[in-house]
Structure 1
């Protein structure tokens, strides 16, 4: 058993039962902005492991081996969660390997963090050098993201031949990720009293052709390195009008474009402008996608050890931060991604064992 942490911190047993480790993590509240306590607990659990060098930077914790191996692999996971909705402390159902842990963060992504910790404790002499990164502020605006901050301030800590982000994937490999772009389309009209609507021009009604164009748009399915990514362009928000008796003179429709990782930001913007030609639009946010990188030898070795086949990642994840540094990266973690942020969030014990055992086979 590891040494007891300070009384105010939860005890994290990294070599014991994986389900109980996940329970302890879930029961340590860590909503974005309040990650210090869970970072302290992880640090206390890792400090007795003399094969790891520990680096604490704010609420980011980096643990790494320094064995002089020819290759280095990063295993990364965020410690924060979205706000709690009556789902902490956790509950556990089932028995043995069929147990399921329910509670905020169990799926997104403390199940992945539990696997990271178990692997860190088990592999004292890994075949590749390892860097474990536990970071904060993933569930909020990108400017606060702990992994992004480390990438800007200490890029040497991210240096690697390959990276695995333990986001929930149902314990299967998901390569790369989609890019995402948001645009605001502004429609204008002329304000008037609604009792004399013919004297004005309704900007909300002017959004009709835009919405019809989006509804009729057929999004592409794009193959990138053998994986097929389904794109999507959709209206996600609409705002207009100032009062119940005024014809609105302005309406803004927010459009979200999810694009395959074969496109860079400029190509994605050009496509949005082509589809929405004739409308006044402004790009308000963009996050570049990540190519799978599955053509690299180390990635092929990973897939062979894990088993099964790779799938595309629908959505954006922090693998893109590694891809931007020319580090191939995949998503591979326990839990059903469709349950991320859900009030009935859960993670099966079987997924924890599948991910841990696969990583031990590959890295041991």
Structure 2
């Protein structure tokens, strides 16, 4: 990464961050990305999302290359979480919404593609860029992108991973536990049965259980994010519920079966949503790795199981994403772009 390219990369990210693209409002940013790619010799396709909507995915290939020509596909998302706030910078970092999740990743991918196109046009013709809407909410963009004629050999997904290659994208399982009690006067123990008392015991058993742990793929973890129940302070609770979010390293079916055993009929289990984990590939060169606990669009890409390589990689840290303190170290921005170029070259030599 030369000083000139590094400066252009930072300017690109600052320009991208000057445009609000919170979920549902991606149009202006999508157009800016299309203009940027078109100016540098890439052909862009806007894929509309929903009838009458102004939202669209962006698919870019170099010059006359067609989607079937794409062997290495770079993917990240156009949308950010609210609220939008503009970028600032100092000598070391760029601050603001989307700096690492995921406009920083997008700027690195666009810059890497442009650099490759100036050095090796044949390699650039086998490269595709897919930027989708809605990743932060419902994955509607990636689900629509399955209609595009994309059958790459390798997929590189950009998310903030602190310059480590993901070994696994943990699965997600959202469960609601419902407990039914019997209403009655709380002054008399035999007048009813508290659903809350039962739920507390159930949750305690879930917390005491030894969930799977793996040296490479990490641990299955959970969060009890919401508890509801009861109708009055002086009455046994007639109903109670709890919403749990599992980040899983095994499978949804295995976690559900384990939960059923823990519940032992004391609560009803309601499935809210979920997806199985996705095992990821390590790069064809020495690089740091880590298990990734957050979700991405990867499980919604229908062609994922036919890929020769699935990579999750990016600059910045997920630990400050979605916060008012979100930032991207400029050094990592440069290194990410250089690593992407190295990875694309290595995969093309396979």
Normalised by the size of structure 1, how large is the TM-score?
A: 0.82
Classify 1:272/1:258 alpha carbon distance in 2 versus 1 (closer, same or farther; 3 Å). farther
**In 1, Cα distance between the equivalents of 2:131 and 2:45?**
11
- RMSD value over aligned CA atoms? 2.5
Contact 2:6 2:334 in 1 (8 A): no
| C-alpha deviation, 1:195, in angstroms | 5.8
| C-alpha deviation, 1:324, in angstroms | 4.0
- SS in structure 2 of the partner of residue 101 of structure 1: strand
**In 2, Cα distance between the equivalents of 1:240 and 1:216?**
22
Paired position in structure 1 for 2:130? 133
Check if 1:317 corresponds to 2:296.
yes
Classify 1:277/1:233 alpha carbon distance in 2 versus 1 (closer, same or farther; 3 Å). farther
**In 2, Cα distance between the equivalents of 1:81 and 1:110?**
8
**In 1, Cα distance between the equivalents of 2:232 and 2:98?**
41
Paired position in structure 2 for 1:297? none
Contact 2:98 2:326 in 1 (8 A): yes
Paired position in structure 2 for 1:146? 141
1:99-126: CA deviation from partner (whole Å, max 9, x where unpaired): 2011111111111011011112222225
Contact 2:109 2:340 in 1 (8 A): no
**In 1, Cα distance between the equivalents of 2:182 and 2:104?**
54
**In 2, Cα distance between the equivalents of 1:68 and 1:180?**
31
Check if 1:179 corresponds to 2:158.
no
Paired position in structure 2 for 1:93? 90
Contact 2:170 2:247 in 1 (8 A): yes
Contact 1:289 1:316 in 2 (8 A): no
Counting only pairs closer than 5 Å after superposition, residues 26-45 of structure 1 correspond to structure 2 as: 26-45=17-36
Contact 2:45 2:58 in 1 (8 A): yes
Paired position in structure 1 for 2:342? 361
Paired position in structure 1 for 2:213? 221
171-180 or 320-329, which deviates more? 320-329
Classify 1:68/1:56 alpha carbon distance in 2 versus 1 (closer, same or farther; 3 Å). closer
| C-alpha deviation, 1:69, in angstroms | 10
Contact 2:67 2:128 in 1 (8 A): no
- SS in structure 2 of the partner of residue 236 of structure 1: strand
Normalised by the size of structure 2, how large is the TM-score?
A: 0.85
Residue 333 of structure 1, aligned match among 307, 310, 314 = 314
- SS in structure 1 of the partner of residue 102 of structure 2: helix
Paired position in structure 2 for 1:242? 231
Classify 1:15/1:49 alpha carbon distance in 2 versus 1 (closer, same or farther; 3 Å). farther
- SS in structure 1 of the partner of residue 319 of structure 2: helix
Contact 1:175 1:312 in 2 (8 A): yes
| C-alpha deviation, 1:197, in angstroms | 6.7
Paired position in structure 1 for 2:52? none
Which structure 2 segments of 5+ residues have no match?
49-55, 346-350
Paired position in structure 2 for 1:6? none
**In 1, Cα distance between the equivalents of 2:127 and 2:205?**
49
1:145-195: CA deviation from partner (whole Å, max 9, x where unpaired): 2012211x22x23x1111111100112211330111122111111123556
- SS in structure 2 of the partner of residue 47 of structure 1: helix
Which structure 1 segments of 5+ residues have no match?
1-12, 295-299
Paired position in structure 2 for 1:84? 83
**In 1, Cα distance between the equivalents of 2:79 and 2:223?**
29
**In 1, Cα distance between the equivalents of 2:242 and 2:67?**
54
Paired position in structure 2 for 1:273? 260
| C-alpha deviation, 1:253, in angstroms | 1.4
| C-alpha deviation, 1:20, in angstroms | 1.8
